Amino acid sequence: MTHFRMRPVIVAAALVGLIATLMLGNWQRHKAERRTVLQERIVLALQDAPEVLSGRVSDPARLIWHRIRAEGIWEPRAVVYLDNRPNLGRAGFYVLMPLRLADGSVLVVNRGWLPRDPMERTRIAPYQTPPGPVVVEGLVLADEDRFLELAPAGELKTGTIWENFDYAAFARASGFAPLACIVREDSAATDGLLRSWPDRGNVFEKQIERNRGYAFQWYAMSAAILALSLFYGFRNARSARSTQP
């Protein structure tokens, strides 16, 4: 009868590798499952009618990934332009401007996109900001996508170009204490800004596919470690048996 035979150190190494790859596979699988659930919630939220902000918002986090409608007054002196935001293959800026609501709270609104001047990088293309009360509709995000900053930003000022949006820096520069969320406006564009946002109905699709792919790879490595361990264990047992007198 052939028995399984491996050196203890090899068995220990195989067990460590098997446990590690299984844990990493489970981690990636759980990430995919969580993102799938969140994606389903986003799809349902986007199908709902916009929530009307009629009073002070005590918990901005509950608005994330929901559409809202808010009435307020623009504060153009505190505008911020986010750099390196391409659209349809062209370089440009996002225009972030605070909207002061009737209750005194402030929403940061991404009003849309402007192309960069190819001759003068810091020149901002003209756009309109209507005075008086306006109604804004849009999708609420926790933040805009962030990019690597090669050097410290220093003291940021409103009315200038920023690499990334920072709530604390914006509060210092503008004097406003904005709600911890950003509204991507999707109202009809009649102000010279482009609002062709990516489809948020599949915002996590690529990440989910990537997580599932990583999970498959880790599970495949687990299976390979197990198969190789069994193969060499039984082979060593046969070799030992054949050398016995």
* pLDDT, one tens digit for every residue, the chain (245 residues): 445 555 677 778 888 888 999 999 999 999 999 888 888 877 877 777 888 887 778 888 888 888 899 999 999 999 999 998 988 888 999 999 999 998 889 999 999 999 998 888 888 889 999 999 999 999 998 888 887 765 555 678 999 999 999 999 999 999 999 999 999 998 877 899 999 887 666 777 888 899 999 999 999 999 998 888 777 766 665 665 555 55
pTM to 2 decimals?
0.72
The answer for residues whose C-beta is within 8 angstroms of residue 53's C-beta and 6 or more apart is 68, 69, 70, 101, 107
What phi and psi, each to the nearest 5 degrees, are found at residue 240? -65, -40
**66 touches 51 (CB < 8 A):** yes
